[in-house]
Amino acid sequence: MLPIDIEPVGTVIGAPADADGAPQRQVIEVRPEHEPCLLRIDACEHLWVLFWMSQLDPQDRMVQQVHPRGNRENPLTGVFATHSPMRPNPIGLTRVRLIARDGLRLTIEGLDAFDGSPVIDIKSG
């Protein structure tokens, strides 16, 4: 197989939840070279954000089966059949609500990525 090269298109700014676990608004700071890609994004109500789960430990990428939601009462399940962050390629995918665009900054709601996570791609949703 040929290697796959992925360059981030932006970075997540802000935590996904506050201290009480309530969802927070976050910002995606898009890299300047991708500004033309934002044309008419303001017309989108929702977006799909693909991001790299950069805080996942390398050994977690070797895990192939998990108990969903970490609950051992749930049957052991292959990671491709779950929403677990443990996976060979730790790519997250979340549908978010677009609140506003200010230049290269997209204010969004509903993203479950950590502050500093690289954004791989953004698609209308």
Instruction: Give me the mean pLDDT over the 105-111 stretch.
Output: 96
Amino acid found at 53: M
Instruction: Give me the mean pLDDT over the 64-80 stretch.
Output: 91
What's residue 62's pLDDT?
Answer: 87
Q: What is the DSSP string of the chain?
A: --------SEEEES-SB-TT--B-EEEEEE-GGGGGGGTTGGG-SEEEEEEE-TTS-GGGGG--EE-GGG-TTSPPEEGGGS--S-SSS-EEEEEEEEEEEETTEEEEE---PPTTPEEEEEEE-
Rounded CA gap, 89 and 4, in Å?
Answer: 11
Domains of the chain: residue spans and CATH: 1-54+90-125 (2.40.30.70), 59-86 (no CATH)
**Residue 20: pLDDT above 80?**
no
Least confident interval from 46-50, 57-61, 79-83, 109-113:
57-61
Q: What is the pTM of this model?
A: 0.88
**Residue 19: pLDDT above 80?**
no
CB of 65 within 8 A of CB of 78? yes
Amino acid found at 24: Q
* Beta carbons within 10 angstroms of residue 60's beta carbon: 15
Q: How confident is the model at residue 75 (pLDDT cuts 50, 70, 90)?
A: very high
Rounded CA gap, 23 and 17, in Å?
Answer: 4
